[in-house]
Structure 1
Amino acid sequence: MRAESHLFAGVAVFFLGTDAVYAWLAREPAGVAALTVSCLMSAVIAFFCAMNHRRKGGRPEDAPDAEVRDRAGRIDFFPPESAYPPVTAAGMTLMAIGVVYGLWLFLIGCGVLLGGVSGMVFQFARVSDGADG
């Protein structure tokens, strides 16, 4: 994951530089916002890859003399089906509709979205690196 973190950090720096030049020359808020969000999103991916590399170490496929069999065995924990992604989508939909129809619906959507996101985050909080489910 080290190579990926450097790649996305480079993309973030590119978007930061482009954003600064665009903000100076164009003075147009929509483009500046889009470039800023692009910089932040690539920085988040770079941070995730760097932390994954720090936590799990190097991968077998990163070694120059790696073979396919080096990656054999258990790779990681993959969660089974979950009901929380549809709940999260429903909460986001209610929030979007609430922008049009009223604050009350927006607040209900915030509650549903909070429940869905917290459910996804904490659903497998007790799962350790070596245990299933």
Structure 2
Amino acid sequence: MKVEFKLFTLLFAFSAIMGVIYGIFSKWEEPVGTVALFLTSGLCIMIGGFLWWTGRKIDLRPDDDPLGEISDVEGDYGFFSPHSWWPLFLGASGALMFLGMAVGWWLVMLAVPFVAVSAIGWVFEYFHGEHSI
């Protein structure tokens, strides 16, 4: 967690300094950019503080060892179905839905049932049929 803490602390400092510079160059008359940069710095320090606080309570991870190898972190990433067609259907119906947001809401209404069926099919793929567990 040390690397993440340092990264968010660096991002906090950068966005706070850029917020001050932006405010000076805009003569503090343009509030949106200045507020956005200061809010970004606030969010970065909140995340960095959480990572620092959590990092104190847990043991060091293999990522935190400067002499660590990539193989120290490897492990089980989960089960991924090698034969599933549901991600293809979900991606196509999701693309159709997002296209509908640009073209017309009628297309979104047409795509929502396909997105729902695809998502349910993918989630419950192993609860029925030939490959049920």
Q: TM-score, normalised by structure 1?
A: 0.48
TM value normalised by structure 2: 0.48
